C-alpha cells in the first residue's frame, strides 16, 4: 500500500509492478493521481523513504510516532497513518505542536475480519455439507419424519453447532485480529489472544479479550484464528506442535499468510482427527490447485485469498491518504482526523 502511494506521488504509476500487484484485476489509477495533485514530485515535492528532519508529511502503516519523533520534524504538518488505530501515536504531543493526525480506516481490513467469522460460521454450521445435501441428496429419506411440513435437519447432522458460548483464540491481535475479536464477542463468544508483546489493559478492555500463553490458548479454544504478522520469524508458526496443542474438536482459521502454516502438519492433523476442521483463505502456494490434497478433504473450507474483497478496494483507502497529503501542503485539515 505504501509502495503504491510512493509510486503515484513519484509519478511512476505506470510501473509494471503495480499492474502485477492488482492482476488479474485491471485498475485505473487516474483518480489517485488526481487526489495527489499538489503533493507529487511533478509539483516540486520531495518523496523519500524513511524519516527526514524537514518533512512536512509523515506517512506510515506500522510503527510508533512518539514525542521524540515529532520533535525531530519541526516542519511537520501531518502524521498520516494507513489504518484507524492511533494507539502508537502521541496525540497530545502532536496537538501541542499543531500537527494534524489522520488515521484512515481500511475497509479491506474490516472485510478480512468478516471473512474470518465467515469461515468460522461455515465450519460450525457445516455449511458446505449442508448445501451439498440439499443440492445432491445422499441422506436416508426413509428416516426423515416431516411434521406439519417441517423436516428439521433432514440429513441428520449431529455436529452442526454455532458460535455462541464457544471460545475463539486469536494469534496476533493487530488491527484485523482486534476487529475479529469484536465481531466474535457480538456472537456471544469468549475471546482469548496471544502475541509476543501483550497489549495494555485498556486495549484488552476495548477489544473485549483476555491474554493467554499460546499453549493455554490452543488448549482452551474451540476455534483458533491466525492473524500474526507476515514476518520471517513467523514462518511455519502453526506447526505440528501447534496443532497437537489444539482440541480435537477445534477448528483452525488462517487469514494471515500461507507461509505461517506448515501445511504438512495441518494436513496430518485434519486427516488423523487431531483437529476437526480448517478454513483457509490464504495458502502456502497461490493459486492452490483444484487437485490439491486439501481440496479433497470434507472438513476444510477453502477460499481464493479474497478475505479483503477485491484488491482494487485499496484504491478507496489510497485516494483518501493521497488527498490528505495534498491537503496538508495546502494548509487544510485532513479527513479522518484524530485528536487527543
Q: Which of the residues are catalytic?
A: 257, 286, 305
C-alpha cell at 282: 490464504
Direct distance between the N- and C-terminal alpha carbons of the chain, in angstroms, rounded to an integer = 26
C-alpha cell at 99: 500537527
**Contact between residue 217 and residue 193 where contact means Cβ atoms under 8 Å apart:** yes
- Cell 488526481 maps to which residue? 34
Could you give the maximum distance between any two Cα atoms of the chain, in Å? 80
CA–CA gap between residue 225 and residue 252 (Å, rounded)? 6
Amino acid at each position: 500500500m505504501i509502495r503504491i502511494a510512493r509510486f503515484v506521488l513519484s509519478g511512476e504509476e505506470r510501473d509494471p509492478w503495480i499492474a502485477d500487484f492488482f492482476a488479474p484485476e485491471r485498475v485505473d489509477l487516474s483518480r489517485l493521481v488526481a487526489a495527489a495533485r499538489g503533493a507529487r514530485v511533478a509539483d516540486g515535492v520531495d518523496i523519500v523513504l524513511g524519516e527526514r528532519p524537514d518533512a512536512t508529511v509523515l506517512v506510515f502503516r506500522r510503527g510508533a510516532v512518539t514525542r521524540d519523533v515529532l520533535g525531530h520534524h519541526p516542519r511537520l504538518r501531518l502524521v498520516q497513518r494507513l489504518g484507524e488505530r492511533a494507539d502508537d501515536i502521541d496525540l497530545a504531543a502532536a496537538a501541542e505542536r499543531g500537527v494534524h493526525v489522520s488515521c484512515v480506516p481500511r475497509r479491506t481490513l474490516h472485510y478480512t475480519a468478516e471473512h474470518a467469522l465467515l469461515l468460522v460460521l461455515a465450519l460450525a454450521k457445516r455449511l458446505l455439507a449442508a448445501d451439498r445435501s440439499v443440492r445432491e441428496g445422499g441422506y436416508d429419506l426413509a428416516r426423515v419424519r416431516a411434521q406439519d411440513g417441517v423436516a428439521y435437519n433432514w440429513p441428520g447432522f449431529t455436529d452442526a453447532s454455532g458460535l455462541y458460548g464457544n471460545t475463539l483464540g486469536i494469534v496476533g491481535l493487530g488491527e484485523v485480529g482486534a476487529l475479529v475479536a469484536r465481531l466474535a464477542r457480538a456472537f456471544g463468544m469468549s475471546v482469548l489472544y496471544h502475541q509476543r508483546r501483550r497489549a495494555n489493559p485498556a486495549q484488552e478492555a476495548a477489544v473485549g479479550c483476555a491474554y493467554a500463553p499460546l499453549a493455554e490458548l490452543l488448549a482452551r479454544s474451540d476455534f483458533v484464528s491466525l492473524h500474526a504478522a507476515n514476518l520471517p520469524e513467523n514462518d511455519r508458526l502453526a506447526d505440528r506442535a501447534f496443532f497437537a496443542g489444539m482440541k480435537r474438536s477445534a477448528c483452525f482459521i488462517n487469514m494471515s499468510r500461507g507461509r505461517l502454516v506448515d501445511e504438512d502438519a495441518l494436513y496430518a492433523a485434519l486427516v488423523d482427527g487431531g483437529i476437526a476442521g480448517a478454513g483457509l483463505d490464504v495458502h502456502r502456494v497461490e493459486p492452490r490447485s483444484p487437485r490439491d490434497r486439501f481440496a479433497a478433504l470434507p472438513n476444510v473450507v477453502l477460499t481464493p485469498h479474497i478475505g479483503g474483497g477485491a484488491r482494487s478496494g485499496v484504491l478507496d483507502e489510497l485516494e483518501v491518504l493521497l488527498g490528505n497529503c495534498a491537503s496538508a501542503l495546502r494548509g487544510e485539515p485532513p479527513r479522518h482526523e484524530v485528536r487527543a
